[in-house]
Structure formats: structure tokens, C-alpha cells
Amino acid sequence: MKLSSILLVGLVSSTAFQAVNAQDKSELPLWEIGGFALGVSQQAYPGSSQQIQRALALPYVIYRGQFLRSDGNNVGLRAINTDKFELDVGFAGSFGSGGNEITARSGMPQLGTLVEFGPRLKWKLSESPGQGRWSVELPLRGVFDLSNSAAYRGLAAEPRLVFANRLPFGWDYSVSASALLGSQKLTDTYYGVNAAQALPTRPQFNAKSGLIATRLGLAASKQLYNDWRFFTFARLDSVAGAANESSPLVRQKNGFSIGAGISYTWLRSSEKAMP
């Protein structure tokens, strides 16, 4: 399995099972091994007028230890865990798109599979499983392009407010609002147009650091049988008021990403998860 596929096991499962956070962690097993199939329609990048579609069928491993965590919350090392705060180091990421897939970027380098790695501080505003959980997440991560030998693409920060709860009939869900910020190197990856890439319909543009997009997200999942779970998620991105809203590569202000899939748990531990 390629390195990108190995990391996407964690990255996609982290998104897909995000809504499970509404549950009390003491209800969940310490570890699970299984597989999932997932279909995604994703905006090529914030401000793009085109969608890219991807489908995956991959194994997954979830581990909810005291320090090492690979669950719906993050994939990485948890360094600090108190009643109010968590500090961990982990991954996040998004699918890439070939340069020829996106009309606005025709003749430009492709946007590869971008993986973010770095620390994240989580502030637990409330921890009441019966009434829902509020939290604030503050990640700061380096961005690397797996499609180009893990080339460094800049820094990203995405402060996020999250509410997670459980509905009747076994549905778990989470709702989030966030602002994606990027360094000049990262915003140039998305929005910069140099002299060699300029066209009459795509003038030269020097990208600036700052706000990339504001986001609203929703994830939900439901246990179907003992070993099967359905999950779905959606996210709305807006570049209105963003630092590079005037880039010729911005073709529309709002865009969305949606996905759905099903997972199967093959093995799980009898030992319960760490809090």
C-alpha cells in the first residue's frame, strides 16, 4: 500500500467517524479493526467552481489509548489530557486533483493530496454526554503534498467550534464552524498565478497570507447492526471576505463537500477506551 493510502486510512476514517464523539468514551472499545467504503464529492479547493469525485474502500484501525489516539477526533499522539484541555499532535488532510481536472488551473501544477501535521489544542467547554458536548479546537499544522514527495506547502490554522450530541434512534452527530487560515506559501499554492502561468483570462496574481475560507460542517452516523455503521458528512466553504477573494482562480464564493459510506468492524477489544 502506498504511503498516501496508509495516511488516508487515518485521515478519511477520522472524518467519517467524527460524529461518534457524541458518545461517552467509556462506552467505546479501546481498539477496533475493520474496513469502510466511502464516496466523496469535494470542491477542488475553496473558491473553485468544480467538484472532484473520489471513492475509497480501505481498512481502518481505531485506537483510543491514553496517549496514542486514532479515532474520530484525531490521528496522532495525545500529550496532555485534563478535564478542560487536550493537547495532541496529529494529522488532517484532503484529496488532491489533477491539474487537467480543473479548468481554472489548466496548465498549472496539480493540487496534490495535502496532509497537515502538527499540534492541536482542544478546550472542552462542556462534557455532558446526555446534553451534548461543546468544544473549541485550535490546530496549527504544517501542510505537505503527498503527490510531490511530501513537499512543504506552508502552515495552516483552523480554529473550530464543535457541538456533538446523540439523537433518538441511535444517531450521533456533530456540527462545527471554523475559519481556515494559511501562510503566504500555502495560499500561493491555491491562488497564486506567476508570470509563466498567466493568460488573458488568468492574470498574474500574488497571493497573500490570511483567511482562506470560513466553514460550516455536519457529520452524522448510525449503528445499523452490531458490526455495521452508516456515516455521512457535509461541509460548506465560503471565500467571501477571504484574503485572496480577488484571485483569478476564485470562480465562485461558496462551495460544498459531501460524502457517505458504510463501515464494518471485524474485531474489537473487550477493554474500554481511555477517557
Contact 91, 131 (CB under 8 A): no
pLDDT, tens digit (0-9, with 9 covering 90-100), for 231-271: 999 999 999 999 999 999 999 999 999 999 999 999 988 88
pLDDT, tens digit (0-9, with 9 covering 90-100), for 148-189: 888 999 999 999 999 999 888 889 999 999 999 999 999 999
Q: Which of 144, 143, 145, 146 minimizes the C-alpha distance to 155?
A: 143
Confidence of residue 130 (pLDDT cuts 50, 70, 90): low
CA-based radius of gyration for the chain: 19
pLDDT at 7: 41
Q: Which of 209, 210, 220, 115 minimizes the C-alpha distance to 165?
A: 220
Share above pLDDT 90 across residues of the chain, in percent, rounded to a whole number: 52
Q: Is the pLDDT of residue 93 over 80?
A: no
pLDDT at 25: 58
Average pLDDT over residues 131-145: 92
pLDDT at 132: 86
Confidence of residue 113 (pLDDT cuts 50, 70, 90): confident
Q: Is the pLDDT of residue 2 over 50?
A: no
Q: Tell me phi and psi for residue 184, to 5 degrees.
A: -60, -35
pLDDT, tens digit (0-9, with 9 covering 90-100), for 34-84: 998 989 898 989 999 999 888 889 888 888 877 777 665 556 677 788 889
Residue 41 to residues 27, 31, 44, 165, 207, Cα–Cα distance (Å): 32, 29, 9, 25, 26
Contact 170, 222 (CB under 8 A): yes
Specify the 3-state DSSP secondary structure of 101: helix
pLDDT at 61: 83
Q: What angle do CA 68, 69, 75 make, to 5 degrees?
A: 115
Q: Tell me phi and psi for residue 118, to 5 degrees.
A: 165, -175
For the ranges 6-15, 93-102, 128-137, the lowest mean pLDDT is seen at 6-15
CA distance linking residue 59 with residue 220, whole number of Å: 20
CA distance linking residue 110 with residue 127, whole number of Å: 42
At which residue does the C-alpha cell 456533530 appear?
A: 174
pLDDT at 11: 46
pLDDT at 98: 53
At which residue does the C-alpha cell 496532555 appear?
A: 80
Q: Which of 90, 72, 92 minimizes the C-alpha distance to 8?
A: 92
CA distance linking residue 158 with residue 46, whole number of Å: 14
pLDDT at 6: 35
Contact 36, 57 (CB under 8 A): yes
pLDDT at 149: 85
pLDDT at 129: 59
Contact 12, 35 (CB under 8 A): no
Share above pLDDT 70 across residues of the chain, in percent, rounded to a whole number: 83
